[in-house]
Structure 1
């Protein structure tokens, strides 16, 4: 069985979570644009001229979504890279499933409690920490395996 094939349940697990996370990044980026259009808020003078609005920077709702999106762009690529290498270590399927689901659920919940249904801390911090810990565990495993 090839490691990078549909027949490998670890690679299939990785592929599904990678797709879920990439879709999340796309959705949050698109969401930022849609909220801007709905609120008739544009970040640049040329956009304002094109849309017939005034440029406005600093809308709290838009900024929350943008920060959540930026946080995804800082954390999800690291997960995708490390988790791909983690699959190459042939880890326990159960452990990999726990780590992948933990990260994916943590990232979705992080965005939910940060951008869409703001909940006071520590909700966002806990979501962030779960994802960070899952990624760190895989990174350590990759280091031990390949070093």
Structure 2
């Protein structure tokens, strides 16, 4: 069977999960921009204070930390720290020819864990709640990596 192709249901599962995670990463960036525009604050760089079509009346206070904007940046940074490892481990896992059921449980489990992490962060849940969802996603990536290594080395 061809491992990398949409006719392989294991690879198709990976492609769906990887695409959803790509949309999550990109969407989080847009959410940050939306929050900056909505609050007219939380700008990241001094050059953002130049007069322009969007920022007609720049003010130095726009560079001050704004938790509404920064919370979105922190969520984005967390995605960038976790999702690329999923993309790599997931593809290697597919190449190890796992069963479809375990692939679906792991890959969609990761997507659900990242979605739950987003909700927990966006709604200001405790660190323990966020850490629970992070841990689930992290263990999934670790398992897929170890599984691929085991298959490769045996």
TM-score range, shorter chain: over 0.9
Q: Is the 8 A contact 1:40 1:53 kept in 2?
A: no
Deviates more, 1:79-88 or 1:42-51: 42-51
Structure whose alpha-carbon radius of gyration is higher: 2
1:45: how far off? 2.4
1:56: how far off? 1.7
Q: What aligned pairs does 1:1-147 form with structure 2 within 5 A after superposition?
A: 1-41=1-41, 42-50=43-51, 51=55, 52-54=57-59, 55-114=62-121, 116-147=122-153
Deviates more, 1:132-141 or 1:116-125: 116-125
Paired residues, what number? 146
Large movers: runs of 4+ above 3 Å: none
Q: Give unmatched runs, 5+ long, in structure 1.
A: none
> Within 2, Cα distance between the matches of 1:2 and 1:53?
56
1:49: how far off? 2.0
CA RMSD of aligned residues (A): 1.1
Q: Is the 8 A contact 1:109 1:127 kept in 2?
A: yes
Deviates more, 1:55-64 or 1:34-43: 55-64
1:139: how far off? 0.7
Please state whether the residue corresponding to 1:4 is helix, strand or coil: coil
> Within 1, Cα distance between the matches of 2:46 and 2:82?
31
1:44: how far off? 2.1
Q: Give unmatched runs, 5+ long, in structure 2.
A: none
